[in-house]
Amino acid sequence: MVEITGVHFAFGQRAILTDLNMTFPRGKLTVIMGGSGSGKTTILRLIGGMLRAQAGQIRIDKVLLDTNNTAGLYALRRKMGMLFQQGALFTDLTAFDNVAFPLRENTDLPESMIRDLVLLKLQVVGLRNAAQLKPAQLSGGMARRVALARTIALDPPLVMYDEPFAGLDPIAKGVIANLIRKLNDALGLTSIVVSHDVAESLAMADSIYFLSGGSIIAHGTPAQIRASRLPYVVQFINGAKDGPVPFDYPGPTFAEDLGLAPGPAATVPGAGDHAGLTSASESTITM
């Protein structure tokens, strides 16, 4: 459904993604994991045409994404749904009107049919009886479910989720993870999920990409990721303090800062520096 080939993206002189190659199979749920600032959300923005890569190509349903072609870009976006990090609901609209919004904006359906479709989508996420509530009257998990109903309002074949579990309690996380998996299978969607949440991601994913320093360092099934011995993956999965991602920000030692130890500033590898840990062939898990 989505193919990313040789993509390079940078903000000015700071490279975010380098020679990125990824494929997202039709009908499968793929999770992108990695530390903060590794470029996960940037990938979603590139697929959505909100950002333009300096090099490489992105194809969606075999069609080349061209941000210079406004009509073509809008046509591709009709095939996408996007669940934003905080839901991004319209605060002055009810749950019903939030879900109805994309239907009213993008179709000429009569209001009676829009009503039935909205209630159907809200029923899918278990919130049909909350249709007249506004976002301020909803819990965090409920608001995320309404946002999910809005995301699938137009039945897009491709749905992207940007940190869908952020700020949710364990019960709400489980509910959202279960919904994402069930919707993917029931509707035959292609789902791309950006997440930090290890337990939910490993439980629901068909495959997982691990991103660090703007590059893919591991790719495999949840079972392969669990079995990985790559230090970065092991540290991330276990939430360990010690590993290739240092606790202290790189710079002089504390003793040097206090004038108690002479010598040049100590250097500590950055979060994306995995050189010397494993060879390229050892660091990538292939499916």
How far lies 163's CA from each of 41, 143, 214, in Å? 9, 14, 18
Domain ranges of the chain: 2-79+156-232, 95-155, 245-275
- Cβ atoms of residues 89 and 78 within 8 Å: no
Binning pLDDT at 50, 70 and 90, where does residue 75 land? Answer: confident
Q: What is the pTM assigned to this prediction? A: 0.79
CATH for the stretch 2-79+156-232? 3.40.50.300
Binning pLDDT at 50, 70 and 90, where does residue 248 land? Answer: low
pLDDT in tens, 4-35: 999 999 888 888 888 899 999 999 999 998 87
What is the pLDDT, as a whole number, of residue 137? Answer: 92
Mean pLDDT of 169-189: 86
